Amino acid sequence: MDVLYSTFSFLYQSGDAFAFLVLSACGLAVIFGMMGVINLAHGEFILCGAYVSTSATHMGLPLPLAIALGAGVAGLIGMLLERLIVRHLYLRPLDTIVATWGISMIATQGTLIVLGSTMQGTGTPFGSFMVGNYSYSVYRIVLMGMALATLAALWLVFTRTRFGVLARATIQVPHIAQALGVNTGLIYSLTFGLGAALAGLAGGLYAPTMTLVPTMGSAFIVEAFVTVVIGGADIFLGTAPAAAILGVVKAALTSWQGQLAGQIGMLLAVIIVIRILPRGISGWILKERA
Amino acid sequence: MALLSRITSILTLLEGPQTLGRGRRFWAGFALVVAAASAYPLFADGYDVGNNVYFFNWIFMALGLCLIWGYGGSLSFGQTAFFGIAGYAYGVLTINLGDAYGLTLLALVAAVLISAVCAAILGYFLFFGRISGVFLGIVTLSVTLVMERFISQTAGPEWHIGTARLNGFNGMGAMPSLTIPWPGGPIVLFPDVALYYATLVLLILVYLGLRVLVNSRFGNVIVAIRENPQRAEMLGYDVRKYQLGTFIIGSSLAGLSGVLYTSWGNYITPASMGMTAASLPIVWVAVGGRSDLTTTLFGTLLVLIGFQALTIYGSQYALVVMGALLVLTVLVAPRGIVASAVSLASKRWTRKKAQSGEVS
Amino acid sequence: MPILETRALNKWFGGLHVTGGVDFALETGEMHCLIGPNGAGKSTFFRLILGEHLPTSGQILYNSHDITLTKSYERIRHGISVKFQVPGIFKALNVAQNIQIALQHHVAPAELDHEIDLLLNFLNLKPVARQLAGNLSHGQKQWLEIGMAVGLKPKLLLLDEPTAGMTPDETFATGEMLQALNREGVTVLAVEHDMAFVRQIAHRVTVLHLGKIFAQGTIDEIVANEQVAAIYLGEAHAQ
């Protein structure tokens, strides 16, 4: 029995890490994969999702609706920022990173000024269950389900909807898409908004499990960065497998040496892997198809 | 004789197409600025002078980033990691070794070397993996953030190296200041006039050294790689080695900043490697004008002084202004606000001269 | 003896067979043109020789040494040089510095300035030596690009459409310059569309089609070859 229990424990931890990596990274990956832009304000969209959904819960909105609201608000702000700032920088991807970093500074410190150094949380819902001698959080299982559901939903969006097809066309050959009458400006704006909304979703989903502080975004971004770096530009061939592999690595190191070792080990793994697979997992899978 | 001609040929590299400012007028201005900076302690209180060394401490890191980012075209967002590594290394070394016999100076050199070695290891994986601009930025940023988290949790007594405790998020303190052994008794570089002059001399040397470097053959190649890495490779250069070399030099300068800062305040915290700390060098260099050493130097000083002035209202307000400044710079003056101002002024100047030439 | 040889050189991009078992030999001292319709695999073949792509299988020999896995910059240092179609000059450096970069790793420091001067005079770029390369006219950029390729003192010069965008006069002058280099012992391999130019310089011509060598011979033999005409015509019909 002990073997079964510890197997379950390891699977649970890997699944938890996988969910965290997928949810943290998919917003960043959508924007990077489609536009080649790394959004350094990613953590602040997560913050936005967390704060909005928590406030909504405090006002009595049910949790799922509150989380959806958080994602929606983050998405709208994302579209707005795309219009105001990011749009002017598409020919200078490196400058986009710098500009989004500026946005991130304003957002973090602005939140600190306006809302103070912390916000009251809501507590984790659904309680826990026992396997062997350990108790596990039901909500964490829900998060794992949400990670898979998010991937499935993105798959449907990019393969089955008009927006998805146009978006992929725009990304592959922007000038042709434009010549064919695609409103590429709108596509970019929607893509950026989608990425921001996914970040907001991650924030809303994890808000009940963590301390809400203005710098909470930075708890997500290292994981998001390494998943995107190691995954490469494609969400389904890159981000998801990268999250799965890193999830196992992180869970193994965490159960062996603690949380921080998991993080350090993951970063080291990434630095070594990029030496071998510079274009990430998706680049390796799509090897030289270009 | 050979040595003399060698020296003159190096001196001619002080000016060149890679650096703004040439000719009598520029060097006269340079001498004037140096003279003013040297005279400043005569007119100010020793305590203020020592405090203001703080501004100089950061400029080394800014110049290093200017080299890596502006000249080399590699986005490094994690220079603070090397700042922190060297700062902590200096603390650990000096707490263990003490400040007699010039050992603090040895610790300075050793700490900078340690940061250089760390940069070499990280840079090897990045550049030899041919990591592109965007990813380079986020990997280096991740490294500094993870370093911050690592040091932050070393508060317990089990985290010590020799007699030096790392102290976690509380920060490490009580390391001795840099001390120069001297026949009449050692000169301790407290934040005072002596430290001011020592740092000023170091700053001038580094600035001039970097001018020579970027105008040298090495400098030509790193700028060429920034412009067109494929073509540089097809002219017979191992692009990866040049990028790595640039990264190591720039990161050592971040390390030097770390040592000077730690020695100046006898204190270093993990926050010096955090997200906020990592963003500031980007602001200094971007606002000043990353493609030139001189604009970076003045931009850094201006932004630092402005930041300090704003901190009266609270550091969070100052940081909002810094963020806005960064966004504005990228949108309005991508070459940097100081650099744009300089080129605007010089255009005005030449036009005026042309007009007056016509009249006479 | 061939200066460059490829043996059963294959390159697959995913499911696409862009270089299909090419056995090619370039004799030392010859001027050789590579022609073929769009998509024939000419630029991939160039990139394989330069080491920008690694072949899926096969061998590349340079002066009888296997360089199949040699790094690009090392191939350059062994005497291969390339001029790209789009001028790959360094816009933020001045003209003299551009030339210097091509020279500085193989010219002794004491002679560097003199050599730069010689090359600038040769290229008629002396008056603009201190200007940023980005401010040159299109023709001057092409000359600078050629100057950088030549400045490496190559034994083998690869040219990707060297006359693209040039007037007939400029094209002819470029041809004469290449012939002058050839007389000094430089082997030349050029991808070219301009048949007048090919006729002016080529000792031999190779036609690539669908990643394979389709025909080889003198320009007159190639022009007389009806099958070669057919593949070009076929393309014309397809358009």
Please write the tens of the pLDDT for every residue from A34-43: 888 889 999 9
pLDDT class of A278 with cuts at 50, 70, 90: low
* Residue B9: inside a domain: no
Note the pLDDT tens digit of each residue in A121-174: 777 787 778 777 778 888 888 889 999 999 999 888 888 888 888 877 777 776
Query: Which of B223, B236, B238 shows the shortest C-beta gap to C152?
Result: B236
pLDDT digits (tens, 9 = 90+) for B166-212: 888 888 988 888 888 888 888 888 888 889 999 999 999 999 999 99
The verdict on A84 touching B (C-beta cutoff 8 Å) is no
Are B251 and B284 part of one and the same domain? no
Closest listed residue to residue B204, CA positions, set B280, B297, B286: B297
pLDDT score recorded for residue A256: 78
B107 shares its domain with B181: yes
B161 has which bridge partners? B164
d(CA C201, CA C197): 6
Alpha helices in chain B (DSSP H): 2-12, 23-43, 46-65, 79-97, 103-128, 133-152, 193-215, 217-227, 229-233, 239-265, 275-288, 293-310, 315-332, 337-359
**Token pair in block for residue C117:** 């001067």
Q: Which of residues 6-65 of C touch A (CB under 8 A)?
A: 12-14
Interface size, chain A vs chain C, as Cβ–Cβ contacts under 8 Å: 8
Q: Decide if B152 contacts B270 (C-beta within 8 A).
A: yes
Residues counted in chain C: 239
pLDDT of residue A290: 41
As a whole number of angstroms, the distance between CA A191 and CA A31 comes to 6
Q: Which domain holds residue B145?
A: 49-273
**Is the predicted pLDDT of residue B258 greater than 90, yes or no?**
yes
Identify the DSSP state of C191.
E
The predicted pLDDT at position C161 comes to 85
Task: Establish if A36 touches chain B: CB-CB under 8 angstroms.
Answer: yes
Give the chain B residue whose CA is nearest to the CA of C158: B234
Using DSSP bridges, classify how beta strands A128-131 and C57-62 pair: parallel, antiparallel or unpaired.
unpaired
DSSP states along B51-96? HHHHHHHHHHHHHHHIIIIIIT------HHHHHHHHHHHHHHHHHH
Helix-helix angle B239-265:B103-128, to 10 degrees: 150
The pLDDT value recorded for residue A258 is 74
AA letter at B234: M
Answer yes or no: do B55 and B200 share one domain.
Answer: yes
**A104-124 per-position pLDDT tens digit:** 999 999 999 888 878 887 777
Q: Report the chain C residue with the minimal C-alpha distance to residue A285.
A: C14
- Do B137 and A36 count as a contact with CB atoms less than 8 A apart? no
Residues B211 and B233 both lie in one domain: yes
Domain boundary among B254, B273, B292: B273
Last-in-domain residue among B273, B295, B326:
B273
Same domain, B109 and B151: yes
Virtual torsion, Cα B200, B202, B203, B204, nearest 10 deg:
90
For residues B71 and B67, give the distance between their C-alpha atoms in angstroms, rounded to a whole number. Answer: 5
Q: Within chain C, which residues score under 50 in pLDDT?
A: 236-239
First-residue to last-residue Cα distance in chain C: 41
Token digits for C113? 């300035």
What's the whole-number average pLDDT of chain A?
A: 84
Among A92, A105, A112, select the one facing B323 at the smallest CB separation.
A105
For residue C94, list chain B residues with Cβ-Cβ distance below 8 A.
17
Q: Tell me: the pLDDT tens digits for B209-255?
A: 999 999 998 999 999 999 888 889 989 999 999 999 999 999 999 99
Closest-CA residue of A relative to B142 is: A222
Q: Which residues numbered 52-91 in B keep a CB inside 8 Å of some CB on A?
A: 75, 77
Based on the fold, state whether residues B171 and B252 are members of the same structural domain: yes
E strands, chain A, where? Answer: 128-131, 134-137
Q: What are phi and psi of C191, to 5 degrees?
A: -85, 125
Question: Residues C87, C141: contact at Cβ < 8 Å?
Answer: yes
Produce one character per residue of C181-204: b if its CB has 16 or more CB atoms within 10 Å, e if not.
bbeeebbbbbbbebeebbebbbeb
Q: What is the pLDDT of residues B57-97, one digit of tens each?
A: 999 999 999 999 999 999 899 999 999 999 999 999 999 98
B35 lies in some domain: no
Q: Where are the domains of chain C?
A: 31-40+71-89+136-238
User: Within this chain, do residues B88 and B226 fall inside the same structural domain, yes or no?
Assistant: yes
Pair B72, B198 in one domain: yes
Same domain, B295 and B253: no
Check A97 against B75: CB less than 8 A apart.
Answer: yes
The encoded tokens of residue B357 equal 């030439």
User: In this structure, is residue B10 part of a structural domain?
Assistant: no
Contacts of C165-171 with CB under 8 Å at 24 or more apart are C165/C138, C166/C139, C166/C142, C168/C196, C170/C139, C170/C142, C171/C196, C171/C197
Q: Is C73 on the interface with A (CB under 8 A)?
A: no
What chains are in contact with B, requiring at least 3 Cβ pairs below 8 Å? A, C
Higher pLDDT, C68 or A5: C68
Query: In terms of domains, do B201 and B347 share one?
Result: no
pLDDT reported for residue A277: 73
Of B215, B250, B273, the position where a domain reaches its end is: B273
- Quick one: DSSP state of residue A212? B
- Contact check, Cβ <8 Å, A225/B314: no
Assess whether B205 and B234 both reside in one domain: yes
Answer CATH for C31-40+71-89+136-238 from 3.30.1460.30, 3.40.50.300, 3.40.1210.10, 3.90.1150.10:
3.40.50.300
**Paired residues of C205 in beta bridges:** C33, C217
Write down the pLDDT at residue A289. 45
- For chain B, positions 213-272, list CB contacts with chain A under 8 A: none
Q: What is the pLDDT of residue A1?
A: 65
pLDDT (average), residues A172-181:
70
Least confidently predicted of A15-19, A141-145, B130-134: B130-134
- Residue B227 to residue C93, Cβ atoms within 8 A: yes
Phi-psi region of B130 (alpha: psi -120 to 50; beta: other; left: phi over 0): left
At A174, is the secondary structure helix, strand, or coil? helix
User: How far apart, in whole angstroms, are the C-alpha atoms of residue C26 and residue C5?
Assistant: 6
Give a yes or no: residue B139 inside a domain. Answer: yes
Q: Which of B319, B290, B277, B256 is nearest to B65 (CA)?
A: B290
Report residue C127 as tokens. Answer: 């008056």
Q: What mean pLDDT do residues A215-236 have?
A: 84
The residue written with tokens 């990173």 in the block is A97
The segment with the largest mean pLDDT, out of A261-265, B108-112, B165-169, B340-344, is B108-112
Measured between beta carbons, the chain A residues lying within 8 angstroms of B146 are 222, 263-264, 267
What is the average pLDDT value for chain B, to the nearest integer?
89
Per-residue pLDDT at B360: 42
Is B150 found in the same domain as B69? yes
**In chain B, which residues have their Cβ closer than 8 Å to the Cβ of A263?**
146, 149
Q: What is the structure's pLDDT at B225?
A: 92
| pLDDT for the residue numbered B242 | 95
Question: Which pLDDT does position A139 carry in this prediction?
Answer: 85
Tokens linked to A282: 């998706």
Token pair listed for A16: 């938890």
The predicted-structure confidence for B274-321, as pLDDT tens digits, reads as follows 888 999 999 999 998 888 999 999 999 999 999 988 888 888 899 999
Residue B359 in this model has a pLDDT that exceeds 50: no
Partner A contacted by B322 (CB < 8 A): yes
Cβ neighbours around A164 below 10 Å, total: 15
Given an 8 Å threshold on Cβ–Cβ distance, is C89 in contact with B231?
yes
Number of domains in chain B: 2
B230–C52: do the CB atoms touch at under 8 Å? yes
- The token pair at C161 is 């459409």
Q: Compute the distance between CA of residue C169 and CA of residue B66 in angstroms, rounded to an integer.
A: 45
Tokens of C21: 């078992």
Where is average pLDDT lowest: A100-104, B11-15, B108-112? B11-15
Q: Locate B239 and state its tokens.
A: 């692009």
